[in-house]
Amino acid sequence: QIPVGTEIEGMNILGLVLFALVLGVALKKLGQEGEDLIRFFNSFNEATMVLVTWIMWYVPIGIMFLVGSKIVEMEDIVLLVTSLGKYIFASILGHVIHGGIILPLIYFAATRQNPYHSDGAFRAPDALCFISPCSVSSSATLPSMIKCIEENNRVDKRIS
């Protein structure tokens, strides 16, 4: 069965992206007249980043209480600790293999440069990704990553 017209559920992401691109080009073409709206969107983006940062500071507390309530409900704590220990070991091993071996190899293959030269330029986002349970979403670490890209790696704000 092929969905037609209104039978398709969800957001029209392609239409939204296309509209944003066309609006951006139109605002740039307006020159000085479009600068006010561009400044508004930049300010709105900065405010959104501040809100996401605030939320990220309080998320671990909420997660702690959610996990704590489940731990209190458990009957066999030894089983919990051994299972959790195995999971933590597997997670750390996976992070070490992926972040310490696979990603540097991909970086070296693509750039032929030393992948360990950055002197910890991305340490903060990496740590946030590792310790935050909601880091499954890239939007959770986005403010931290943008800050590191702009400050530590001296990338222009328009690019980041």
At 49-77, the pLDDT tens digits run: 889 888 888 888 999 999 889 888 888 88
Alpha-carbon gap, residue 130 to 110, rounded angstroms = 25
Of residues 113 and 124, more confidently modeled: 113
- pLDDT per residue over 127-138, tens digit each? 555 555 444 556
Q: Which residues contact 59 (CB under 8 A, 6 or more apart)?
A: 132, 133, 134, 140
- Mean of pLDDT over the chain: 80
Considering only CA atoms, which of 160, 158, 154 is closest in space to residue 119?
154
- Interatomic CA distance for residues 38 and 28, integer angstroms: 8
CB 53 within 8 A of CB 143: yes
Cα 10 from Cα 18, distance rounded (Å): 17
More confident residue, 123 or 97: 97
Average pLDDT over residues 2-8: 60
* Section 95-119 average pLDDT: 82
Predicted confidence at residue 72, as pLDDT, reads: 86
pTM over 0.85? The answer is no
For CA atoms 157, 16, 52, 142, give the dihedral sign. Answer: negative
Using N-to-C axis directions, what is the helix angle for 138-151 and 123-131, rounded to 10°? 170
Q: Bigger pLDDT: 119 or 114?
A: 114
Do residues 127 and 92 make contact, with C-beta atoms less than 8 angstroms apart? no
pLDDT band for position 121 (50/70/90)? low
